[in-house]
Amino acid sequence: MDQNGAVVGPLFLFELASSQARYLELRQSTIATNVANANTPGFRARDVEPFNKVLDGMPVRLATTSPSHMQLAAAETDTRATAKKDSWEVVHSGNSVSLEQEMIKGSDVNRDYSMNAAIVRSFHRMVLSSAKA
């Protein structure tokens, strides 16, 4: 219970961040495999499904915990992706790995991991400060 007597529900942010970290680990491994096989004839570049595909089946609804909160329609809170990226090119050997594209994906993974870690650190500090109060 919090200081107003309301029941505090479980905190799923750490579980979500852990799931995303495992996803980022798998994606980085897939990118490394693509780069390692950049000169292998006939090798097709691979990638994993976007992380938000996991969350698409469960649309997030905003909680109304106070009468002063604004209500939003479900259409206003939908964050599903609408476009899919294609591979850049296939060379004459049948290899579809583009090193430039793989480096961009690697940068995306690095950025996403850094953001994930920063959010977890901030949330952890917030939980600790609320526990001290």
Which tens digit of pLDDT belongs to each residue from 90-107? Answer: 666 778 888 999 999 999
Q: Tell me what the pLDDT averaged over the chain comes to.
A: 76
Please report the pLDDT score of residue 110 as a whole number.
Answer: 96
Q: What is the DSSP-derived secondary structure letter of residue 50?
A: P
CA 78 to chain centre: 16
Q: Dihedral sign, CA of 58, 114, 29, 14?
A: negative
Please report the pLDDT score of residue 127 as a whole number.
Answer: 85
Q: Are 47 and 72 in contact (CB under 8 A)?
A: no
Percent of the chain with pLDDT over 90: 29
CA 41 to chain centre: 32
User: What number is the average pLDDT over the span 69-74?
Assistant: 58
Name the more confident of 115 and 95: 115
- State the Cα–Cα distance between residues 75 and 59, nearest whole angstrom: 10
**pLDDT tens column, 41-69:** 988 888 888 888 766 655 555 566 777 76
Please report the pLDDT score of residue 84 as a whole number.
Answer: 40
Q: Which residues contact 13 (CB under 8 A, 6 or more apart)?
A: 119, 120, 123
Please report the pLDDT score of residue 86 as a whole number.
Answer: 52
Residue 65 one-letter amino acid: T
Q: Are 38 and 99 in contact (CB under 8 A)?
A: yes
